[in-house]
Amino acid sequence: MITNERQYKITKAQVEKFKQALDLLRKEGVPGNDNARMLYRVQEEALKSQTEDLEEELREYESLKKGEFQIEELEAFSSLSESLIKARISSGLTQKDLANIINVHEQQIQRYEATKYQTASLARIIEIAKALGIQNQMSLIPAGTKLSVDLLFQKLNNCGISRDFMFSRIVPSNLLSALNEGAKEEQENALIKISSIVGRVFGWKQNDIWSKSDLTISHQPAISVSYKLPNKVEEKKLSIYTIYAHYLSMLVLDVTSHLNTKPIPSTSNEICQAIKKEYGEMNFEFLLRYVWSLGIPVLPLNDSGAFHGACWRENKRNVIVLKQKNQLEARWFYDLLHELYHASVKPDDDQFAHTDIEDGVDIKKKAVEDQAANMFAGDIALEGRAEELIQECVTEANGNIPFLKKALPRVAERENVSVGLLANYMAFRLSLEGQNWWGTADNLQVSNKQSLQIARNVFLENVDLKKINEIDRQILIQTLSD
């Protein structure tokens, strides 16, 4: 971000240099050699990207200088630092002018802005905000509150957010470092920014987070989902994770707004034929790429517990979340097809929400849509032969469930189908009769550590992370980490 005239002039000069380098590269022409041609494309794209980024910074600074920045209500402290800089430029004040107003050296303001106010105390930030006329629009912490790591995490833990989850999925590494190693002012700012980010994700205000009263989990209509909870699932943690996943899903829709949405075929046969026509065979990666080609982004998560699949729709755009801790390709395959079915339901509705909890013997009590989704998944996975193959397995096992473990692999080999896909469908069919065969189905499969990585790679191929702000971008990146 450009903060003063000197940086503005330097940036303009850099843009000219990049443009000249790009012109020179294009005058030399595209090489004939494959390796050289690839290197040429990489260099061209790098120069174009750098030029566009710098030009965007110039446009932003020029817009601010014209006074076009509108100060919005700042309920998120995490966005305050950048807003302070923008407000200062837009009001026509130089760094020296602001320094004179609050009676500090110009270099101090330069240091504050260079570090995005990481080194400024809360009292100083409030003083600067007031000097810029935005203090009344800030939603900060209650007066007299003593900031404490233990206080914050105790309150979050009470509503189902563990410290481990916060550090691995919510808190950016720079804030964690400031919290552990920074000076008092840095620790104070880190705490407030962390609470602000938490509030951003879960819909809480700073006043609520730092007050003495308990936090309330908000169930918005967009994320209200119905399911039966197994005994091992804690409702509070499930609600919190569902809100978190929904927040991520809305970010995913933002970073994939360039995708063209296509109708989901109405029959499983159409989907099978489309995948085979495009890729020649059926596997998890090809199915995944096919779903993306329909304009449906798929976000892979690697957390344990809660649900294992979800689908949301906003403004008639679907997004699918897959969450598996194991690396069984067949489970990823089935879950993706299961959620694709839900994405196809009521396509004219603007909004939609569906979340699938972990499988268990209570599946018979699930909604009819879930059973239809599993039938749909099995039909595609086994290319229209699901029920035929199930009957063959039952015959091979002489109708005895304990014998299925050995009978099913023999049928899969004889019929040239995936053991994992057939085992998963068998587990679903037995669950309709109150039998929990999921553990056996998992044991018949070979773990493929590539499933999660494939899903991540395809995700990164299709998103434009520049479409969201730095805070949300960091949260989304952390989501994709181990």
179 belongs to a structural domain:
yes
- Same-domain pairing of 14 and 91: no
> Residue 365: which pLDDT band, with cuts at 50, 70 and 90?
very low
Torsion region of 442: left, alpha or beta (phi above 0 gives left; psi -120 to 50 gives alpha): alpha
DSSP 355-371: EEE---GGGGGS-HHHH
pLDDT tens digit sequence for 126-169: 788 888 877 544 455 666 677 788 888 888 998 889 888 888 88
270 belongs to a structural domain:
yes
- Same-domain pairing of 348 and 306: yes
Res 229: pLDDT: 44
pLDDT tens digit sequence for 289-301: 999 999 999 999 9
Res 230: pLDDT: 47
Q: Are strands 298-301 and 307-314 parallel, antiparallel or unpaired?
A: unpaired
Give the Å distances, CA to CA, from 325 to 307, 331, 346, 439: 11, 10, 30, 14
Q: For residue 43, what are its two tokens?
A: 């260099």
> Residue 430: which pLDDT band, with cuts at 50, 70 and 90?
very high
- Same-domain pairing of 275 and 317: yes
89 belongs to a structural domain:
yes
> Residue 359: which pLDDT band, with cuts at 50, 70 and 90?
very low
- Same-domain pairing of 306 and 431: yes
* Between residues 77 and 429, the one the model is more confident about: 429
163 belongs to a structural domain:
yes
Of the ranges 99-108, 241-250, 349-358, which one carries the lowest mean pLDDT score?
349-358
- Same-domain pairing of 175 and 35: no
Res 285: pLDDT: 93
Q: Which of 92, 108, 137 is the last residue of a domain?
A: 137
pLDDT average, residue stretch 441-456: 84
223 belongs to a structural domain:
no
- Same-domain pairing of 306 and 343: yes
Res 367: pLDDT: 60
Q: Is the pLDDT score of 361 beyond 50?
A: no
Average pLDDT, the chain: 84
> Residue 345: which pLDDT band, with cuts at 50, 70 and 90?
confident
Q: Are strands 317-323 and 352-357 parallel, antiparallel or unpaired?
A: unpaired
- Same-domain pairing of 285 and 431: yes
Q: Is the pLDDT score of 234 beyond 90?
A: no
221 belongs to a structural domain:
no
392 belongs to a structural domain:
yes
pLDDT average, residue stretch 349-374: 67
Res 360: pLDDT: 44
- Same-domain pairing of 203 and 90: no
Order across the sheet with 298-301: list the strands: 298-301, 317-323, 307-314, 352-357
- Same-domain pairing of 435 and 290: yes
Q: In whole angstroms, give the CA distance from residue 131 to residue 255.
A: 36
- What CATH number did the domain enclosing 109 receive? 1.10.260
- Same-domain pairing of 254 and 392: yes
> Residue 480: which pLDDT band, with cuts at 50, 70 and 90?
confident
293 belongs to a structural domain:
yes
> Residue 228: which pLDDT band, with cuts at 50, 70 and 90?
very low
Q: Which domain holds residue 382?
A: 236-443
pLDDT average, residue stretch 297-312: 85
Q: What is the pTM of this model?
A: 0.75
Q: Is the pLDDT score of 428 beyond 60?
A: yes
Q: Is the pLDDT score of 347 beyond 50?
A: yes
Q: In whole angstroms, give the CA distance from residue 166 to residue 162.
A: 6
How many structural domains comprise the chain?
Answer: 4
Q: Which of 65, 90, 114 is the last residue of a domain?
A: 65
- Same-domain pairing of 260 and 332: yes
Cβ neighbours for 318, distance < 8 A, ≥ 6 positions apart? 295, 296, 311, 312, 343, 352
Res 128: pLDDT: 87
Q: Is the pLDDT score of 420 beyond 70?
A: yes
> Residue 306: which pLDDT band, with cuts at 50, 70 and 90?
low
Strand intervals (E) in 303-446: 307-314, 317-323, 352-357
- Same-domain pairing of 287 and 319: yes
* Residue 90: other Cβ atoms inside 10 A: 19
Res 222: pLDDT: 47
